[in-house]
Structure 1
Amino acid sequence: MTFSRTIKLHIEYDGTSFNGWQNQAKGRGVTVQGAVEKALSQLCKEKIKVAGSSRTDAGVHAFDQVATFKTKSTLPLQAFQKGLNTFLVPEVRVRKAEEMDASFHALRNAKGKIYSYYVLSGKTSSPIAKNHVYFFPYTLNFSAMKKAAKQLVGKHDFSSFRSSRSTAKTSVRTIHSFQVKVVKDSLFMPKENTEGTLYCFTVKANGFLHNQVRTMVGTLLDVGREKIKPEDIKKIISAKKRSAAGKCLPGHALYLIKTLYA
């Protein structure tokens, strides 16, 4: 019998220079999955394939992308964290490594995910935050956006927020919570800076459709600009048409915060 181990990695990365998580056709840019597989193959001295918990798009960042892989390596568990980081590019780091049961799979065993999207509202954009925050040069109605976000909570058919490229068999998802907060002190909005407002949109669900989070936030910005009312969210959901919802915002301000398991 061939000896094999199942290793689970918790990975953080800055997605700015990557063409997403998932491997692409040759010549279509560097991916995070490709960088991790290359480093693992060097470390384990065998060809390694990893499975990720989320297929983040180009420019999207992650604090907790979970990945699993099989290996014949007898290296100690800590080597898959400390050792692997010596082979990885600085934009990618393994935060934790765990040994799992052979049946565990990063994607199939995931029970949910938490994403956050950051929007800087103001008159002037931030050069420091340009790859990590979406600049929106308009004043926003904070109260209206919070009310609208609550309309998205629950089990719904989210066809109106689904990309035409989505291959999911169903558009039904359950959103457990959707919070809109003002960030008063951070790297991208120091408390000394009184110009502009940094908003954080955080959503927890059992799963997401392609572009769903970015399109939901784009729709909430329409509410914030008072182009539509909070009550219109229910009509948008019922329409089940992509044209009914707002703009799909860029990926560079989206963060995979955590992958949830039972």
Structure 2
Amino acid sequence: MRNIKLTIEYDGARYLGWQRLGDSDKTIQGKIEKVLKQMTGNEIEIIGSGRTDAGTHARGQVANFKTDTEMKTSEILDFLNRYLPRDIVVKKVEDMPERFHARYNAVGKKYSYYIWNDSIPTAFERNYSFQFPQELNLDLMNEACQKLIGKHDFIGFSALKKTKKSTVRTIDDLSIHREGSLLRITFVGDGFLYKMVRIIMGTLLEIGSGKRAITTIDDIFEQKVRSEAGETVPAQGLFLDEVYY
């Protein structure tokens, strides 16, 4: 039995997220599994590195599946890209050791969030960024980023209800880059809680627009309460760039 690794790129605008849903065929996992069944004649379950929410995009999602097909990896790649919708693309197909697991073996991830910081909207970036028309103080936002870097309990920046698992995560890099009206905020860390990037992003925007003091970052870490953090920004600005192994 072979263990196949897929590196996947997708535009999540018209999908309900990564995870397969029993009552809908509008998921990334569901679309790929349907084509794999067509290819092999067998029901195949793919394991993703993690779930992405409805509307979230990916440049480097990773998944694996088990199969006894004798097709070459190049033939699998060609088949998948021939029959998948055009907004889902498999970038790479690799044979992996039997014990490789896309989720459990991941040691880190890189995400980007895009802000269209202009009072005039954009026709071309509307599905791939969040328009925020107010002027932003990037110096304040960068100062806030420094407070978030490192090992912390991020439960206050998460939409998790209750969990017995650890909510401590490490952010290794959090940086802001501007090109004209487009801001790209890059997150690199060992893992991210449910909606953590989008809640941190909302908090940074409130700091940058003067609605919130930088010291509230410390308060959120101390109080560990979701309601103390900023708004959850929309999913369309979020990209999963890379998964590290």
Q: What TM-score comes out, normalization by structure 1 length?
A: 0.90
Question: RMSD across aligned C-alpha pairs, in angstroms?
Answer: 1.3
Residue 208 of structure 2 corresponds to residue 212 of structure 1: no
Residue 135 of structure 2 corresponds to residue 139 of structure 1: yes
Residue 153 of structure 2 corresponds to residue 171 of structure 1: no
Alignment of 1:1-262 (within 5 A): 4-27=1-24, 30-165=26-161, 169-184=165-180, 197-261=181-245
CA contact (8 A) 2:160 2:193 kept: no
Could you tell me how far 1:84 is from its partner in structure 2? 1.3
Deviations 1:160-212 (CA, angstroms, capped at 9, x unpaired): 1110457572211111110111124xxxxxxxxxxxx2111110111010000
Deviations 1:52-107 (CA, angstroms, capped at 9, x unpaired): 00200000000000000000100011112122111101000000011000000100
The 3-state SS of whatever aligns with 1:81 is helix
Could you tell me how far 1:131 is from its partner in structure 2? 0.9
Deviations 1:21-55 (CA, angstroms, capped at 9, x unpaired): 0012314x510000010111111222111000020
Q: Is 75-84 or 214-223 further displaced after alignment? A: 75-84
Alpha-carbon distance in structure 1 between the residues aligned to 2:99 and 2:215: 44
Q: Identity over the aligned pairs, expressed in percent?
A: 40
Deviations 1:223-246 (CA, angstroms, capped at 9, x unpaired): 101122323312222120001100
Alpha-carbon distance in structure 1 between the residues aligned to 2:94 and 2:142: 38
The corresponding residue for 1:188 is: none
Unaligned runs of 5+ in 2: none
Alpha-carbon distance in structure 2 between the residues aligned to 1:86 and 1:173: 39
Deviations 1:115-140 (CA, angstroms, capped at 9, x unpaired): 00001111111122111110011000
Alpha-carbon distance in structure 2 between the residues aligned to 1:107 and 1:166: 21
Counting matched residue pairs gives 245
1:238 aligned partner, one-letter code: E
